[in-house]
Every structure is written in structure tokens, then in C-alpha cells.
A and B are shown apart, each in its own frame.
Chain A
Amino acid sequence: MSTPVPEGRPVVEMSGISIEFPGVKALDGVDLTLRPGEIHALMGENGAGKSTMIKALTGVYSIDSGTIVVDGSPHTFSGPGAAQQAGVSTVYQEVNLCENLSVAENIMLGHEPRRGGAINWRATRRRAGEMLARLNLDIDPASSLASHSLAIQQLVAICRALVIDCKVLILDEPTSSLDADEVAQLFEVMRRLKDDGVAILFVSHFLEQVYAISDRMTVLRNGRLVGEYRTDELPRLELVSKMIGASLDELSELEQTTERIAHDRSGEEPFIQAVGLGRKGSIQPFDLDIYPGEVVGLAGLLGSGRTEMARLLAGADRADSGQTTVSGRLARLRTPRAAMQRNIAFSSEHRKAEGVVGDLTIRENIVLGLQADRGWARRMPRRQVDEIVEKYMTALSIRPNNPDALLRNLSGGNQQKVLLARWLATAPELLILDEPTRGIDVGAKAEIQKLVAQLASQGMSVLFISAELDEVLRLSHRIAVMRDRVKVAEITNSDDVTVENVVELIASGGTDS
């Protein structure tokens, strides 16, 4: 950044913050200082305590020890409402808005202009429209929030945060579901707010973004403070090694273990073969073969039909045309259970809603799929359960290393790993992974990628979906390109295929390939 790093009296000073959950010491004596007019990145792996730190500041969690000073006076917020009143506004990682209400309401809820005590809807909609315009969003404020994509909902959430005159804006993974243009748009807004003297706390797993926008960063690891640094004084690799606490060599080793050799598949029988499979309003009919030991990547923009294809193959949605053959036999995958019986496992992109069970422990979540497979009457012996849980917790390095911790107390990335462990425990022949690395830090990402490659080399078929094209390219033997709910192309991966090639395919719709 060319602008000078702002100094001055801090607007937020958190010191010695500790929070403990049953079985998890989430934060241990962490400090954080925010100054007016700075963009401050909070960095760390999954489970390092970033989200907990934010929730401590906004009063969602009460702190066990430590002090929070906002604007010179000590504060303990009783909840997000109180924090907002003091000028601390938050946009959370998973969109926390109400889908049953309109866009205007979601933006203005709790801050509606009044006339004679009653909510003035005309003014409310107008004001919401102004906020949307500030972010260059061209949507009807009166439209229902549910009718918009996740990316737009995220921007609406930011609009909401801007409604109050905030001194501190907290953005927890705001970019994880945005495309490049939308990210640029967001950064523009962030810079404008920074010039207005707002302190922005920014959490992102995209290092590029952090380096592009932040002035300072605070690095956490395992609930402890590693340190506060100026962004221009901390090289990228050093940051990563601080975050994961490992030397740089180990890291690059992880990155390079994956290999992708495209075999000649003629004469082999595909594990799953979809012919003309489609569903009205969801995805146009497509053909797709996946061979044993093969990783097929799905590339395409958000909403291009990647998830829809996965859901059809996993039986989560019912196809209304075409047919599927599994291991040479015709299979009607009408329910996820039918798919599971044919050894197809589907790890959903919405881990909170469609995946893990927050009120169960890590152990229970991991064996859930396995138990469902065995039927409820045949209880698994405890020793066998412990073996399986131990195996996958180690393999995926799930933190905290305590199988009795409740899942909802885990960070997003670790929940994702537990979800993955559950499906792996059922020993599927086809594993469908929808955005398994979204919102996950570099270390864990590399671990998951490595695992996928390893599983494929042991003969498992994998359908891999990710918004990050380089990741798809690194892992896949073949890549199916999606656009506007149509499968537009299929390419065999090789060293010659680059991210640019795929982007071109997506842009051109595969017409010239």
C-alpha cells in the first residue's frame, strides 16, 4: 500500500483475552489493537481463534478473562446489539440474514426510519436503495433476499453493517463467496471507509487479498497470539510459517506431493456413467464418466451448475431425464441413501446446514455415516469406533485433538475436516467433494488436497468442485467445464493446461474448443 500506515490512538484495544469452551481452550491471552483508518488483518489457521476473537469483541461470547477497551473506555458488550450501538459492526463468514424478508428490510432491520413512531417503509426502502447504490449494487430493495445469490447476500450483509455509523467494521471472510469483480468492488468500499477513519478488521484466507488491502496484521495460532506486524514488513512465506508454525520447507513439500497422470482409459469400465442426466430449472442434461482412481474436477463460476451436477450424482436431487450406470449396472439414484448404498458419498458445500451435527461430538459425527450404513440395530463396538476416530483425526489433524469436543465449538475448517472424515470412514468408491476447501487456510488446504490425491491413487473416484481453479487444475485428471448450467467442455488435464485456458473455456462457453 502506498498510503502511510495509520498511527494514533487505538479505537479498540483487546488485551489478555481468554475464552474456554467445554473441552476447548479457544483463546489464551490474546491481544488485538485497532487504530482508526486502518485495515487490520486477523490471520491464522482454522481453529486458531479468529472467529472466537471476533465474537468476543462483539459480545456474542463472554470472555473469561482480559479487557476490551473501545474508544478509551472499558466495555463488555452484552450482545451484537450493544456492540453496534458503540459503533462496532460485523459481517460474518456465513451470511447471517433472514431469507424470508426483503433486501431492504435485511439492510435496515432495527434502524428503520420512523414517522410518528411507525416504521416509514417508503423511507426505509429509499435508504436501503442508497446503501445499495453506495456499493454499486443494482438490485431491487423490495425483492426477497432468498431470490439472490450468496454473493449478493454477502454484499447486502455489508450494506447492513454500513447503515450504522460504524467506527469499527469487522469483515469475517467476506470474500469467500465473491468473484474477482465483486472483490474489487468490496475493496473499493473498504478503502473509502478507511479514508473516513473507520477501523476495519479483515479476516480472509486469501493471502493475495490480505496483502492487497491490509496495513497491519495480527497473527494467531492455536488460540495464542503470535504477534502484530506491519503488512509491508512481513513477507508472505514468513507469514504462512508463522500461521502454521512449521518451517517453509515442510510447506512446499506438502504443496508438491500431488500428481496428476491422465491414464488411457479406453477399455476400462467407468465407476459411474451419467448419460443425458439433467433436471429442469437446475442443470441441462449432461454426460459424465468417472473412472476408478480418477479425480474429475468441475470448473465454472458460482452458480454455473457445479453443485447441481454434484447433487444429481449424489441423489440429493432427483433427475428428470437421463440415466446413471454405476459399476456397469443401471442405478436410479433417487435419494442420498440410494447413492450411499452404491458407495457414493457426497460432502456438501453447506457444511453447517447439510453436513455436520453441531450438538454431537467429533467422535459421534465421524461415525455417523458409518453407523447409518450398518443400520441402527448393529451397534459398533467402542474399540472399533475409537480406532476409526483416532485414525482420521490424526490423518486430517483435526483440532482440538479431543474426540469429545462438541462440533459446534470447532472452527469452520475443522468442521469441514470432520465432515470429510465421516465420508472417508464409509470407504466410498466415489467421493463427491463440493467446495471442501472453502474458508480453509493454506495448511489445511494442502492437507486436504494431498489426501484427495492419495485416495485417488488407492483407487477411489473423486468428483472435486472448487471455485479456485488452480486447485482444480492441481488435483484433477480431467476437468469438466460448466457455464450457465450447461456442461460446455471436458478437457484432459496435463502440464499444458493452465488456469487461463480454463477461464477462456468458461468465458467462450467451449464453442471454439
Chain B
Amino acid sequence: MSTVKTPTPTSPREPGNKPRTAGGMSAGMPVRFASRIRVDRRYLPVIGTLVVLALMLIIGGSRYENFLSGRVISNLFINNSFLIVLAVGMTFVILTGGIDLSVGSVVALSGISAASLLQSGWPAAVVIPLVVLIGTVIGLVVGIMVHVFEIQPFIATLAAMFLARGLCYVISLQSIPINDDTFVSIASWKQQFGEEWRITTSVVIALVVVAIAFYMLHYTQFGRTVYAIGGGEQSAMLMGLPVARTKVLVYVVSGTCAGIGGLLFAMFSRSGYSLTGVGMELDAIAAVVIGGTILTGGTGFVLGSVLGVLVLGLIQTIITFEGTLSSWWTKIVIGGLLLVFVILQRVLVVRRR
């Protein structure tokens, strides 16, 4: 979990004895007070997620044998790698104050396209970039709808969701197995660390996506513009930032991530199916929100979204370990957790006023 401590560039200076000037500035009498050791309010939601994650690990570890093992943690990443990628893309969109409902369908479209093309003999080296590109193109179309035609993101991505799902049915109603040698060998590559820890191709891809997203959000102008748009689109525009390009690009990023997600899911299931990923967009949104990103935009971190995915995955793991609970309990717990986090965010926002 050391990833969370990665210094975000806007983090406050190390707590020291440096006095700060308080807001007032009344008549040349700055009110000074020594800064205490305090956490920037922006990190509170993420810290909340981290606490929840730690609690779940502790509870799971104390209740079940073998819970806190390398195998369980490794599986947590392996089983949720596609969701991590989706949540990363979704974070970009939500940071601008938008939403992307199309990602679940794009996962299915990208997966079934891969399966179908491989089945008809296309080489994996062509198919893999191509299906990612499908996601990119859908994202581009959505971005243009949202920005140029000023359609609400909800509606634009809803349209894309139906479109992509429909295209899946056109390709095939049945599940298509993937037997291509190259693809299967890529999908089944894994690296063992010691007895229990292991990573697979999909985990590597997911972590690379997370690293690239982190770099983009914090070290490029594009990323900072994403935050600025979330803080106020009008302001960002008047500050001379490339708002138009950025708004289109966030949907391209999300679409591309969905394309990659589809690929990872195809690797995971060794097949493509038109009913894959129904409701997966909502899982991604839930992970982002639980990860501390505020739906109105401007505040949140991509690493928080990764934590959000891990929380969701861990709920599932605990319920599997419990054995007697039906899988519906996963949804109930996610629902409850989501409510708690949204309320927590409201409280923070209200306090700020």
C-alpha cells in the first residue's frame, strides 16, 4: 500500500514552524498563526478509503485463515485488473465533472471484436492494438458530442453505451472462445515471486496504465487542465487553458481505457461475449467515488480510484471466504459503502463553505 504515500505535487509543505498568513489581510495587520500538523482536506476522502481497506484486511485476516496471504492479494489484483483500468479512465472524466456510462459496453465490444477477429485468423499483433483503438474512437465520438454539440455527458455516453452494446450483438450473439496461440500465451504469462505472490500480463498492463495516468494528471498540462475544468470550466477557459481539447481528450482517455479493459477481460475469460460488462460502468463509477473523487469534479486522485477498486474486490473476497453468504451481499455492502462515502464527501464540501 506504499503507493498511496506517493507525494502528489500539490501537497502541502512538510509541517514545520513556518508561519502562514491568514486570509484577512486587514489594514496591514496579517493574522499569523503557527501551522499545526494537519492533513490537507483534499486527501481526507482518500485516507478514508485507505482506512476502510486496512480495516477490511484486518477483519478478514482475523476471521479467516490464509486471508492475508500473497495468493489472495495477488488474485485481488489479477481478478480486478480490468476494473482498475476502467476506473482510471473514469477518474479523468469525473475529474472534469463529466460521467462515462459507455465503458461497460465498450469492454464487451472490444472483447468480442478481439475474439471474432482472432477466430477469423487475424494475427494478435494487429488485433490487440485494433480493439484498443475501437475504444479510442468511441471515446472521441463521445468527446465531440459532449464538447462540440454541448450534449450532456450522461446522454452522450448513454447513446454510446447502447451503440456499442448493439454492435456486439451484430458481431455475435454467442460467446466466442479465443484459441489464438500468441494471444493465449500473452494472456497466460505470469511471473511468480516466491511461493505465493504472482503477477500476470493483465496486472502489468493495469499498473502501467495507472502509472501513465498518474504522470498525465500530475505532470502534464493536460492533467492540470483536467483539474482546472473540474474547478470551474469558465475560469479555466478565461485562464487561457485548452478547455475544448481537454474535454474531448478525457473521453478519448476513458474510451481507450475501456478498450484496454475489454482486452484484459478477454485475456481473463479467454473469450468474447456480447453480454460481458453489463453494469461494469457502474462498478467503475462506484470505485472512483469510493476512491475519493468528488462527482462534481476538480477533486480526486487516480491512486484513490485504484484503492476504490481494491475495496470493491476485497468485499467480494471476504464474502467468498465467508462461504455462507450469497453473492448478493457484495452489492449490498458496496451500496452501503457508497452511501457512507458520498455522505462523507458532502460533509467535507459543506465544511469547506
Contacts and interface: CB of A to CB of B under 8 A. Distances in A.
B17 interface: no
Interface stretch (A26-34, A35-43, A75-83, A434-442): A75-83
Interface stretch (B19-27, B80-88, B201-209): B19-27
Given A84-B240, A110-B239, A105 B224 contact: yes
A140 B10 CA distance: 12
Given A79-B240, A110-B240, A119-B9, A100 B23 contact: no
B42 A139 contact: no
Given A83-B240, A138-B21, A146 B352 contact: yes
A101 B297 CA distance: 12
Contacts of A110: 221, 224-225, 239-241
Interface residues of A, number: 47
Given A119-B9, A119-B221, A139-B20, A179 B215 contact: no
Interface stretch (B65-73, B124-132, B137-145, B228-236): B228-236
Interface string A483-509: 000000000000000000000000100
Interface in A436-470: none
Contacts of B240: 79-84, 110
Interface in B3-61: 9-13, 18, 20-21, 23-28, 30, 40-42
B122 interface: no
A473 to B, nearest CB: 19
A140 B30 contact: no
B298 interface: yes
A140 B13 contact: yes
Contacts of B20: 139-140, 143
B221 A101 contact: no
Contacts of B40: 144
B247 to A, nearest CB: 14
A149 B23 contact: yes
Given A96-B234, A109-B224, A303 B239 contact: no
A102 B10 contact: yes
Contact of B12 (A99, A143, A301): A143
Contacts of B230: 100
Nearest to A281: B351
Contacts of A98: 227-228, 231-232, 235-236, 239, 298
A151 B28 CA distance: 13
A152 B23 contact: yes
> How many B residues touch the partner, as a band?
35 or more
A474 B346 CA distance: 43
B238 A139 contact: no
Contacts of A60: 237-238
A92 B298 contact: no
Interface in B304-353: 352
A386 B12 CA distance: 55
Nearest to B219: A118
A170 B240 CA distance: 14
A471 interface: no
B2 interface: no
A508 B223 CA distance: 49
Contacts of A119: 9, 218-221, 224
B9 A97 contact: no
B293 to A, nearest CB: 12
A152 B20 CA distance: 14
A302 B25 CA distance: 9
Nearest to A483: B26
A100 B240 CA distance: 17
A511 B69 CA distance: 69
B299 interface: yes
A192 interface: no
A507 B26 CA distance: 10
A121 interface: yes
Contacts of A387: none
A45 interface: no
A80 B238 contact: yes
A55 to B, nearest CB: 9
A304 B11 CA distance: 30
Contacts of A304: 26
A301 B27 CA distance: 9
Given A112-B224, A142-B10, A100 B298 contact: yes
Contacts of A142: 10-13
Nearest to A108: B224
Given A79-B240, A96-B234, A109 B228 contact: yes
A90 interface: yes
A140 B18 contact: yes
5 contacts: A96-B238, A98-B236, A98-B298, A109-B241, A140-B12
Given A100-B42, A140-B20, A142-B10, 18 more contacts: A80-B237, A81-B240, A102-B10, A105-B224, A109-B224, A109-B241, A110-B225, A118-B215, A119-B220, A138-B30, A149-B24, A151-B25, A152-B23, A179-B25, A181-B27, A302-B24, A303-B23, A303-B26
Q: Which 10 A-B pairs have the closest CB atoms?
A: A98-B231, A81-B240, A100-B298, A118-B219, A100-B231, A121-B9, A149-B23, A96-B235, A80-B240, A96-B238
